[in-house]
Chain A
Amino acid sequence: MSRSAALGRVPVRLIAPAALAVAFLLLPLVSLLVHTPWTRLVSELGTGAVRDALLLSLETSALAMVVAAVLGTPLAWLLARVSFPGHSLLRLLVTVPLVLPPVVAGVALLTALGRQGLLGQPLFNGFGITVGFTTVAVVIAHAFVALPFYVISVEGALRAADPEYDVVAATLGADRWTVFHRVTLPLALPGVFAGLVLGWARSLGEFGATITFAGNFRGTTQTLPLLVYQRLQADQDAAIAVSVILLATSLLVLALLRERWFTTAVQQ
């Protein structure tokens, strides 16, 4: 209180653009709600296509986060705690998908895992395995775009956690693995959850890589964003209704996670 009093009044030239930013961010969301045909919303929720897409979206984004946690946590630790030659190059490479347009990510995945792809061709010719057009392809696309978000977030949390605790644990006789899962990881837990939420949100909204790499079919690869796009071609009201369902889903899950995980994680 006293500090802000000492700093004086909040300047208008900061308030005005900030207010503009808020308006800019909220206007499209408010218009979406204004245009929502609420009766359609209820009937859309009852349709099989929406239920299938909703379940698939929740399932694939959750699985993508399992992949992110299992593979991304060690990678984040490596980047935050170990120095080795090529460290900054590796960090750069890992973050490339962050700036990659999603459609390009989809094309890249096709060239890697498509039937004529670098890895996809031997998989198909040798074992008859096709990844495209399956739910696995959706999870791969989601994990590909969301993993960097997770890694960066966890790496930041690990860097912020004091490495002195690691050293103390080590001097007390703990080996590096024990230090990681008994000291380092618990300390970085809020960052891990933040990374999961960030990656999950990115994954839930994923469109370009999914439609390019995994295709679009109800029940197997049609996630909510793909359904929104398809509905937009034929019936705008239905598209808006499905958009609101998608929006509500992400807000609901974020709110629940905030309640349950963030508070406990911070308290630890």
Chain B
Amino acid sequence: MRPVRPIAAAVAAALLALLAGCATNGSATTGSRHHAGTLTVLAAASLTESFTDLAHAFEKQHPGVHVRLSFDSSATLAEQITQGAPADVLATADTRTMHTVVAAHDTAAAPRLFATNTLVLVVPKRNPGDIETFADIEKPGVSYVMCVPSAPCGALTRQELAADHVTAKPASQEVDVKAVLTKVSLGQADAGFVYATDADSAQDKVEVLPIPNSAKFVNQYPIVAIKGSDRPDLARAWVDLVLSDRGQKVLADYGFGSP
């Protein structure tokens, strides 16, 4: 009996620590470092820079509140929320992915549009594929990358490729827009389709080429508070901040259009 006790105690302690860890992640606010709580915001990968800025502003406005940001493909985030992942706010890069969350009755209110984005073609600064215009991605031997069609950026890319009658196949379909940007800025791919805002964020590594029909294809970004949030007040405040003049200015600074 005796030699088992300490081990059993250690195992129990480890299990408890694990459970406590899960619980902190799980209910977002209960076990957080601050008494004022934590706000969990799930946002499309293309919002990485702008929402990080806004999180700093939000934390200043609400002392003691910690904003937890999670960036991923909108499709992945929507899936996470319908599977019951704890979140207070969701911002996606198109209305299609948002609709799956609305259809699952996981939203606390009607989603509001807060930004728009268009696609551009980016090539690495050294331009290994020697791409001067959009039409050059059809040249033999050129490898271009795009998002998977299930992600908003991929759906938009597919529409534009069809509209411009591009038949060349991509070398890879990446899981989100940041992965596409990485493959291009590393020089691994000759070209890639990313949002205008992402191209902005990597100006020192990539060259931007316009796409002929891009003005016709615009993604609308909706934002919504999630039902069952522990802090509906903070969730609403975040949505308000994004829609406010201040929020809109931050988004515009990063190249987003207004809806």
* Interface residue B148 (Cβ < 8 Å from any Cβ of A): yes
* Interface residue B73 (Cβ < 8 Å from any Cβ of A): yes
Complex: how many Å from CA A124 to CA B187?
11
On whether the beta carbons of A216 and B172 are closer than 8 Å, the reply is yes
B175 proximity list for chain A (CB < 8 A): 211, 216, 229-230, 233
Closest to B128 in A: A115
26 contacts between A and B (CB under 8 A): A110-B186, A114-B188, A116-B186, A116-B188, A130-B143, A132-B189, A133-B143, A133-B172, A133-B188, A215-B145, A215-B172, A216-B148, A216-B174, A217-B171, A221-B172, A229-B175, A230-B148, A230-B173, A230-B175, A232-B76, A232-B79, A233-B75, A233-B79, A233-B150, A233-B175, A236-B79
Complex: how many Å from CA A78 to CA B248?
64
* Interface residue A181 (Cβ < 8 Å from any Cβ of B): no
* Interface residue B170 (Cβ < 8 Å from any Cβ of A): yes
9 cross-chain pairs, A with B, having the tightest CB-CB distances, nearest first: A215-B172, A234-B150, A233-B75, A133-B171, A233-B150, A116-B187, A115-B187, A217-B172, A132-B188
B170 proximity list for chain A (CB < 8 A): 217
Per-residue contact bits, chain B 173-211, to A (CB 8 Å; 1 contact, 0 not): 111000000010011110000000000000000000000
* Interface residue B4 (Cβ < 8 Å from any Cβ of A): yes
* Interface residue A13 (Cβ < 8 Å from any Cβ of B): yes
Complex: how many Å from CA A221 to CA B73?
20
Q: A132-B171, A132-B183, A229-B175 are in contact. List 4 more A-B contacts (CB 8 A).
A: A110-B188, A133-B189, A214-B172, A217-B173
Chain A residues with a Cβ closer than 8 Å to the other chain, count: 22
Complex: how many Å from CA A132 to CA B192?
15
Per-residue contact bits, chain A 228-243, to B (CB 8 Å; 1 contact, 0 not): 0110111010000000
On whether the beta carbons of B75 and A124 are closer than 8 Å, the reply is no
Complex: how many Å from CA A230 to CA B75?
10
* Interface residue B120 (Cβ < 8 Å from any Cβ of A): no
Which residue of the partner chain, among A115, A211, A229, A236, contacts B188 with CB atoms under 8 Å? A115
**A149 CB, min distance to chain B CBs, angstroms:** 26
* Interface residue B169 (Cβ < 8 Å from any Cβ of A): yes
Complex: how many Å from CA A114 to CA B183?
10
Chain B residues with a Cβ closer than 8 Å to the other chain, count: 23
Q: Is the interface of B mostly helix, strand, loop or mixed?
A: loop
Binding site for A on B (CB under 8 A): 4, 73, 75-76, 79, 128, 143, 145, 148, 150-151, 169-175, 183, 186-189
**A209 CB, min distance to chain B CBs, angstroms:** 14
Which residue of the partner chain, among A124, A232, A234, contacts B128 with CB atoms under 8 Å? A124
**B49 CB, min distance to chain A CBs, angstroms:** 21
Closest to B82 in A: A236
**A162 CB, min distance to chain B CBs, angstroms:** 37
On whether the beta carbons of A216 and B173 are closer than 8 Å, the reply is yes
A133 proximity list for chain B (CB < 8 A): 143, 145, 171-172, 188-189
Closest to A121 in B: B187
Complex: how many Å from CA A177 to CA B128?
47
B187 proximity list for chain A (CB < 8 A): 114-116
Complex: how many Å from CA A215 to CA B188?
10
Closest to A116 in B: B187
B169 proximity list for chain A (CB < 8 A): 217
A147-179 interface with B by 8 A CB criterion: none
Complex: how many Å from CA A174 to CA B145?
56
Complex: how many Å from CA A137 to CA B111?
42
**A18 CB, min distance to chain B CBs, angstroms:** 14
B148 proximity list for chain A (CB < 8 A): 216, 230, 233
B174 proximity list for chain A (CB < 8 A): 215-216
Closest to B148 in A: A230
Complex: how many Å from CA A110 to CA B189?
12
**B94 CB, min distance to chain A CBs, angstroms:** 13
**A220 CB, min distance to chain B CBs, angstroms:** 8
On whether the beta carbons of B73 and A233 are closer than 8 Å, the reply is yes
Which residue of the partner chain, among B73, B79, B150, B183, contacts A215 with CB atoms under 8 Å? B183
A110 proximity list for chain B (CB < 8 A): 186, 188
Given contacts A115-B186, A233-B150, A233-B151, contact A215 B75 (CB under 8 A): no
Complex: how many Å from CA A232 to CA B148?
12
**B149 CB, min distance to chain A CBs, angstroms:** 8
A229 proximity list for chain B (CB < 8 A): 175
Closest to A113 in B: B188
B143 proximity list for chain A (CB < 8 A): 130, 133
Complex: how many Å from CA A124 to CA B124?
15
On whether the beta carbons of A230 and B188 are closer than 8 Å, the reply is no
A236 proximity list for chain B (CB < 8 A): 79
On whether the beta carbons of B186 and A233 are closer than 8 Å, the reply is no
Complex: how many Å from CA A116 to CA B76?
30
A119-156 interface with B by 8 A CB criterion: 124, 130, 132-133
